[in-house]
Amino acid sequence: MNRKLLMTIQGNYVAPRFDLATEVLIADVCDGKLAGEPKTIIMDRPSDERLCRMILEGKITDVVCGGIDEMHYNFLNWKQIIVVDGVIADWRSALNMHQAGMLRQGQILLAGARQGGAA
Amino acid sequence: MMNSPVQFEMQTILEGIPHPAMILDRAFRIVEMNRLLEALTGYEIGSVQGIFGELVVRSNTGNSRGQLYNRVVETGRPFSATGDVLDGSRRKIPVLYNIAPLEHHGSCNGLLVIVEDLSARGGDHFGTPTEIDTSDFIAQSPNMQKVMDMTSLLAHTDASVLITGETGTGKDKIAEIMHRESERARYPFIKVNCGALPVDLLESELFGHVKGAFTGATRNKQGMFKLADRGTLFLTEIGDMPLSLQVKLLSVLDDKKFIPVGGEQSIDVDTRIIAATHRPLRQQVVKGEFREDLFYRLNVLHLHLPPLRERLVDVELLLHHFLHYFNQRLGKSITGFSESAGRLLRGYLFPGNVRELRNIVEYCVNICNEKSIRQEHLPAFLFQAQAEVIEPDGREDQLTATAGPPEAVPIAAAKKHGGSWGAIERQMIVDMLTRHGGSRKLAAEELGWGRMKLWRRMKKYELL
Here the CATH number for the domain that contains residue B407 is 1.10.8.60
The answer for B 348-387 residues in CB contact with A (under 8 A) is none
Chosen for mutation from A10, A20, A49, A72 (greatest number of chain B CBs closer than 10 Å) is A20
User: Which DSSP state fits B290?
Assistant: S
Does residue B34 sit in the same domain as residue B19?
A: yes
Domain count within chain B: 4
User: Which DSSP state fits A17?
Assistant: B
Q: CB distance A17–B60 less than 8 Å?
A: yes
Burial of B65 (0-12, 13-18, 19+ CB in 10 A): middle
Chain A residues in contact with B90 (beta carbon < 8 A): 67-70, 73, 85
Provide the 3-class DSSP secondary structure of residue B201.
helix
Q: CB distance A16–B55 less than 8 Å?
A: yes
Does residue B238 sit in the same domain as residue B375?
A: no
Banded model confidence at residue A5, pLDDT cuts 50, 70, 90 = very high
Would residue A10 count as lying in a domain? Answer: yes
Whole domain around residue A65: which residue ranges?
A: 2-99
Q: For the residues of B219-287, what is the DSSP string, one character each?
A: S-EE-HHHHTTTSEEEEETGGGS-HHHHHHHHHHHHHSEE--BT--S-EE---EEEEEESS-HHHHHHH
Does residue B265 sit in the same domain as residue B168?
A: yes
Would residue A39 count as lying in a domain? Answer: yes
pLDDT of the residue at B392: 40
Chain B residues in contact with A17 (beta carbon < 8 A): 58, 60, 86
What percentage of chain A carries pLDDT values higher than 70?
92
Give CA torsion, residues B362, B365, B366, B371, to 10 deg. Answer: 180
Contact predicate B276/B178, CB 8 Å: no
Would residue A73 count as lying in a domain? Answer: yes
Would residue B128 count as lying in a domain? Answer: no
Would residue B281 count as lying in a domain? Answer: yes
- The verdict on B219 touching A (C-beta cutoff 8 Å) is yes
Q: What does the alpha-carbon distance between residue B174 and residue A5 come to, in Å, rounded to a whole number?
A: 47
Question: Please, what are the averages of pLDDT over each run of 10 residues along chain B (464 residues)?
Answer: 56 86 91 90 89 92 82 82 88 89 82 85 40 56 85 86 91 89 83 83 86 78 85 91 88 88 85 92 89 90 90 87 89 89 86 91 89 87 60 35 33 46 82 84 83 85 80
Provide the 3-class DSSP secondary structure of residue A88.
strand
Q: What does the alpha-carbon distance between residue A109 and residue A107 come to, in Å, rounded to a whole number?
A: 6
pLDDT of the residue at B385: 57
Contact predicate A94/A64, CB 8 Å: yes
> B254 vs A115, B146, B257, B261, CA distance in Å?
46, 30, 8, 19
pLDDT of the residue at B126: 38
Edge to edge, what strands does the sheet with B189-193 contain?
A: B189-193, B232-236, B272-277, B161-165, B301-305
Name the minimum distance, in Å, from the CA of B451 to any CA of chain A: 11
Domain count within chain A: 1
**End-of-domain residue from the set B281, B306, B331:** B306
Burial of A22 (0-12, 13-18, 19+ CB in 10 A): middle
For chain A, state the CA radius of gyration: 13
Q: Which residue of A has its CA nearest to B454?
A: A75
CATH number for the domain including A95? 3.30.420.130
- The verdict on A52 touching B (C-beta cutoff 8 Å) is yes
Name the minimum distance, in Å, from the CA of B246 to any CA of chain A: 28
For chain B, state the CA radius of gyration: 26
- The verdict on A115 touching B (C-beta cutoff 8 Å) is yes
Does residue B231 sit in the same domain as residue B244?
A: yes
Mean pLDDT of A23-48: 90
Q: CB distance B50–A13 less than 8 Å?
A: no
Beta-carbon pairs below 8 A across chains A and B: 87
Q: Of A89, A79, A35, A91, which Cα lies nearest the Cα of A55?
A: A79
Q: What does the alpha-carbon distance between residue B69 and residue B63 come to, in Å, rounded to a whole number?
A: 7
Q: What does the alpha-carbon distance between residue B43 and residue A112 come to, in Å, rounded to a whole number?
A: 14
Q: In this complex, which of B51, B89, B218 lies closest to A104 when CB atoms are compared?
A: B218
Cβ density class B229-238: b for 16+ within 10 Å, e for less? bbbbbbbbbb
pLDDT of the residue at B51: 92
pLDDT tens track for A66-111: 999 999 999 999 999 999 999 999 999 999 999 988 999 999 998 7
Q: CB distance B42–A20 less than 8 Å?
A: no
Chain B residues in contact with A112 (beta carbon < 8 A): 29-30, 49-51
Chosen for mutation from B43, B86, B197, B453 (greatest number of chain A CBs closer than 10 Å) is B86
